[in-house]
Amino acid sequence: MAFLIQATFDAIRDALAKTNYFSTVQIGEAKAPPTDAKLTVHIWVNGMRHVATTGDKTIQVYTLTMRMMLPTNFQEPVESIEVELTEAVSKGDEGLMADFTLGATVRNIDVVGQYGVAYTVDFGYIDIGGKVFRMADFTMPLIVDDSAAFTA
């Protein structure tokens, strides 16, 4: 059965909404700077690979990127930006791990890298349209069972 990702996106959005940390959770990478000065989240698919077969079906890993962004405006104290983003990462992580099958839409988030790529978060800065954001990029591998079937 084909993997229909919309339900997975909805489950991620719901898990993040429950944290009350984010003003926007958008599917798709940001092409323009977010308009508000609050934390935003952007989620997109980075890739898919087949990692195993189970007789007549495949196991796939879809790798998503989830980017949390907070405008910096080079405001002081810098500490407040670090604290806000890091706490949001922790709350987002907690929300996702509370239902790591994402509403039973996937087998699970591959937290420890069972199929090579582990769930990780990297911090950095990004310039979008002349605005600088402090960001946290989640690499989120999702294990999907029985997503394609072999036929004779």
Tell me the whole-structure pTM to 2 decimals: 0.90
**Extents of the domains making up the chain:** 6-149
Confidence of residue 25 (pLDDT cuts 50, 70, 90): very high
- Express each pLDDT in 120-130 by its tens digit: 999 999 999 88
Q: Which fold has domain 6-149?
A: STM4215-like (3.30.2000)
Q: How far is CA 59 from CA 10, 86, 116, 138, in A?
A: 22, 33, 13, 22
Q: What is the pLDDT of residues 55-97, one digit of tens each?
A: 888 899 999 999 999 988 766 677 888 999 999 999 999 999 9
